[in-house]
Amino acid sequence: MAFRFERLKIPAVILVEFQKFSDDRGFFAETYKRSIFLANGIEENFVQDNYSHSAHGVLRGLHYQKAPRAQGKLVLAISGEIFDVAVDIRHGSPTYGKWVGEILSANNGRMLYIPPGFAHGFCVLSAEADVVYKVTNEYAPTLDRGVIWNDPAINITWPVQKPLLSPKDAQLPLLSAADINFTIA
């Protein structure tokens, strides 16, 4: 099975494309193979899988989990289409406060690897979307944090103007006030 790995403008974030094998029954694809991911710089062990179902216009994020239980994520849309975003929140990083975004869909065979030290969010572009993602640490509610989706200092170009937000996500702080403990020396 073939994968293609592309480092984005923030090189720690990696776009992964997988190959689909189609016939009249449908298709088959491998979406993760540890040996190939290791050979391409993704060394983390994934320990938990998450699944979300969302309607058009829903925006989830920007979320992260603080160290020592920080989470890397491997994100895949299994139905519908999303705009997936990673924001560098590592103090001392040359790309601190910068973001990258990619469209992930059930049809395009793309996943986004987001390492620990990044805030993550996505908005739904299709009528509905199902998103699954692997994480490198189990959920730890006491370390769950976030940054407001429309922080002008980050200036993400979201493809929705008035997203549907959870009450929690609507109250997240600006990056400048967020509780972050990620640092690059």
Structure tokens at 144: 């769950």
65: domain CATH number?
A: 2.60.120.10
Residue 147 falls inside a structural domain: yes
Burial track 85-116 (b if 16+ CB lie within 10 A, e otherwise): bbbbbbeebebbbebbbbebbeeebbbbbbbb
Model pLDDT for residues 104-139, shown as the tens digit of each residue: 999 999 999 999 999 999 999 999 999 999 999 999
User: What is the arithmetic mean of pLDDT over 81-108?
Assistant: 97
Model pLDDT for residues 133-149, shown as the tens digit of each residue: 999 999 999 999 999 99
Flag the least confident range among 17-26, 61-70, 83-92, 116-125: 17-26
Residue 29 falls inside a structural domain: no
Residue 55 falls inside a structural domain: yes
Quick count: other Cβ atoms within 10 Å of Cβ 82?
30
Q: Which residues pair with 132 in a beta bridge?
A: 51, 76
Which of 63, 64, 96, 120 is catalytic? The answer is 63
Q: Quick check: is 96 catalytic?
A: no
Structure tokens at 147: 């940054």
Residue 31 falls inside a structural domain: no
pLDDT at 2: 87
pLDDT at 151: 98
DSSP run (H or E) holding 145: strand 144-146
Based on the structure, what is the number of domains in the chain?
Answer: 1
Residue 124 falls inside a structural domain: yes
Residue 2 falls inside a structural domain: no
Q: Quick check: is 113 catalytic?
A: no
Residue 39 falls inside a structural domain: no
Phi, psi (5° rounding) for residue 175?
Answer: -55, -40
User: What is the arithmetic mean of pLDDT over 75-102?
Assistant: 98
User: What is the arithmetic mean of pLDDT over 30-58?
Assistant: 96
**Whether this model's pTM surpasses 0.75:** yes
DSSP run (H or E) holding 131: strand 128-135
- The domain of 116 spans 7-17+44-177
pLDDT at 1: 57
Q: Which residues pair with 129 in a beta bridge?
A: 54
By percentage, how much of the chain surpasses pLDDT 90?
95
Residue 57 falls inside a structural domain: yes
Which of 53, 96, 133, 139 is catalytic? The answer is 133
Distance CA 49, CA 100 (A): 23
Mean pLDDT, the chain, rounded, equals: 96
